[in-house]
Structure 1
């Protein structure tokens, strides 16, 4: 369905709030867990692009919160505390803790994701078949985040840049990660006219490199 000039998929809700300055903000939410939100990212990207094109709206607007959640998870996987991640991305600590609790993501006494930090155990080797199963029904970014949570990929680092004219930008995302099994570094890059698509392209490139190395 469409509301306030934006496409809203089934199962989502739109909340319009007044800022008190004769302006209104539209917030998009989903009655779902955080992993569920990640799994629905690709569908939201496709629908947002179609609707944005019809109404001549920027396709990136609806991706803001999904992109924010992915960045927060990536920083937690890198060992940042919940408070540090919240401050970095402008998310209230209480709100971020609520998201993590809903997603059943465990935070230790040191305010860090329990899968990082003191736990230095080597994860079990990943097979090509396991990677294929993991990719089914998931977006490339969700796969990268899942591999990071399982400590199969470490030292995840995203970099982005923008070139081109204001009305026709070109976004570039670079992604690097270290394989926990052999210590090798994977480097990937994605380009597109939208941030979401460029980020997804970089993640897909990295996952394909990992799949080729495992085959």
Structure 2
């Protein structure tokens, strides 16, 4: 329904970007006050592979009353649509997830580098990790060692994935949001230092964030 003044109170405005929660809540309030509809934060997870396959996961921050309508729209792009709570909680969920991903990626790169330099075959080491308690998405799906997972960016010269610069952006957003929520992130300083350093290096900035493995190898002069 469109009013004479251009207002559309029944319109859904679904934002799938990753920004900070406070800004998202402010935008939602402004959209409502202006009568231009209902603003919903619905960041996604799944990356390029998930987008191509239509299997993305969406984290939704909205009222319960409109979640059904939001889910109907997002189900055309994703398989898992989760109602996280009121406005802003979808963003918070995404940032919590990406903070964990950033840490898991660093830990996986360190563990693989350690094992390889100790004489282990990287595929054997990955098999052990992925059948034991160290298993994570970073080790199983996005393993940072070239050749271990054929479909991973590492096996394509670290191209076609989630850029280090984007991970650095999300990590900084997560750190700020956690501070606002008074939630300590004990590993954030070390992680931020590494991602910030690689983001400022043109040899790494646009490469998949798993290329931190290449950096740890001590071969930063190599072209990715």
The answer, yes or no, to whether TM exceeds 0.5 is no
Q: Which has the higher contact order (CA 8 A, sep 6+)?
A: 2
TM-score, L = length of structure 2: 0.28
TM-score, L = length of structure 1: 0.29
Highest CA radius of gyration, 1 or 2? Answer: 2
